[in-house]
Amino acid sequence: MYGWRKRIGLIVPSTNTTCEMEFHKLLPPGVSVHTSRVFLPEDKSPEDRIDSIIRMGDGLLEGARLASGVGPDILVWACTVGSFIKGKGYDTLLAERIKQQIGLPLVTTSTAIVEAFKTLKVKKIAMATPYIDEINRREKEFFEHSLKGLKVVNMSGLGIIPNLQKGQLTPESAYVAAKQVHTGSSECILISCTNWRTLEIIDVLEKDLGKPVVSSVQATIWLTFKMLGLSRPQGFGCLLQK
């Protein structure tokens, strides 16, 4: 039987091709991941993109119901933007709704990143994303409003609208973007987006920059494993050892 130890119900946007693959890379023996999806169209305009991401919140309950069918120990909403798009408290509101309706705890990526910053005791963040400027602005506001004293000291996005295109980005592109956004004043680098492949380059980035690196998927995996009482693997950033 798969999942004889723990079972994870993973929920991702319908166009995400990366997150579940990175989860599978780090799974301990006896732990399984079972994925459901929430529809996200491949928008062409920034305005449509914002509207579509907001609408995903309405579809999350059905995605959670589908994922709960396998009897998971925990549910995970692995979408950074989809868990901060309405501002401070939106991530916890989603988790409360799912707990009330489904009866299972829900980890969201935005919550995981905030908890990662708290655990690493960092307050000055440089942020690399594949997003458009409006989403970057909302992400900056979310983190600064969610954690007292936190400041995004530098940020840059690739300006990509369609989600499938983000899943085609290489780990090397994440490395380059992180180095470009890095500043001497930053205490931590955030690589945002659960559809951007990052696991392979986190450890080398930390060694090259001399500071912690957090990615959306890495933080989501970290908090999920922590809540399940699972050991975390080495080689994918210092966060996983916390």
The pLDDT value given to residue 64: 98
How do 31-38 and 6-13 pair as beta strands? parallel
**Measured between alpha carbons, how far is 183 from 14 in angstroms, rounded to an integer?**
35
Residue 228: give the domain boundaries.
Answer: 6-111+218-235
Mean pLDDT of the chain, nearest integer: 97
The pLDDT value given to residue 37: 98
The pLDDT value given to residue 61: 97
* 83 and 180 housed in the same domain: no
* 27 and 147 housed in the same domain: no
The pLDDT value given to residue 75: 98
| pLDDT tier at 120, thresholds 50, 70, 90 | very high
Give the count of domains, the chain: 2
Rounded mean pLDDT of 16-22? 98
* 242, 208 contact by CB (below 8 A): no
* 44, 57 contact by CB (below 8 A): no
Tokens of 75: 């549910």
Q: Is 190 within a domain?
A: yes
Q: Is 1 within a domain?
A: no
Rounded mean pLDDT of 131-150? 98
| pLDDT tier at 239, thresholds 50, 70, 90 | very high
CATH code of the domain covering residue 96: 3.40.50.12500
The pLDDT value given to residue 241: 94
* 85 and 142 housed in the same domain: no
**Measured between alpha carbons, how far is 56 from 5 in angstroms, rounded to an integer?**
31
